Structure 1
Amino acid sequence: MASPRSNVTGLDAVFRFFDKDGDGKISAAELTLCMRTVGEELSLEDAEAFVALVDGDGDGLLGFEEFVKVVEVEGEEETERGLRAAFEMYESEGEGCITPRSLKRMLSRLGTSSGIHECAAMICRYDLDGDGVLSFEEFRSMMTMV
């Protein structure tokens, strides 16, 4: 029976897939084998280095808790990359921020017609420092509120 924590994370099946010998730990060899199974090449040396990097208890293996931490960090990094890409679409003027003009331009490309004053009002809702534009940090805050 799966532990309550593994049910919460939904990663217990993935962990069991990687844990080929069923000992409750993932070795570098198991990691290499599983990565190959999903079409990724990972040398044993690289797998050993990776395991050593994230091995919190120093046993040379990845336990479930260590595995969850790795997956959560990867998910956060992927989310950050997605937010950065979305921000760059709206920040089309190369100023490092979303201006009312760049917001209007992107909304127009997406098929929504908004005037410059409406775009300024949209920005104003999430403009934490009151400078009339959205920085990446303000954009990230806005996206996590939505």
Structure 2
Amino acid sequence: MTEDVKARKFSTLFRWFDRNGDGQLTRDDFQQMADMFAGLVREGAEENAAAMRAAFETWWQLLLAHGDRDGSGQISPHEFITVMEADVTDPQHFEQAVLAIADALMRALDTDQDGVLSQAEYVRMYDVLGIPPVHSEAAFRLLDQDGDGSLSHAEFRTAITDFYLSDDPKAPGNWLLGPIDQAA
């Protein structure tokens, strides 16, 4: 059951990353995702956009190096799930590929620079990224672990880490992209 939870989350993530819906991930898909994330950056915080683009490129290079078994320059759903479980979530890669995006995103989304994400900031982010507000509003409530009406940097990192690393089907971070049994 535990691997099934991760596989379901990674399948949801694959569908979200597959921007053209062709069933394969390409560098173009990752560049489009990087552009979407970078588009969330407020004026004057371009270093966050650059950090997100660099992290997405690192992630793509990890996928190619460890997952592109047939050398096609594309990543199939099976290759993606396998490389996510074995390599991208490995501590030596996770920080520079996934958490680097989360950290830059947190800095970029904190429009009032108070060190936390309000529900409005959080929902706006996921709306721009194509996640329906009904899902992001529900996720926000689950991720706000201390119930103070905002997400601290630590709570946001915990949610990201839960999504990628947790085998617990009830982990709040599983809701990052909406219900894990639903296409992103």
TM-score by length of 1: 0.40
Greater relative contact order structure (CA < 8 Å, 6+ sep):
2
- Please tell me whether Structure 1 or Structure 2 has the larger radius of gyration of its CA atoms: 1
TM-score by length of 2: 0.33
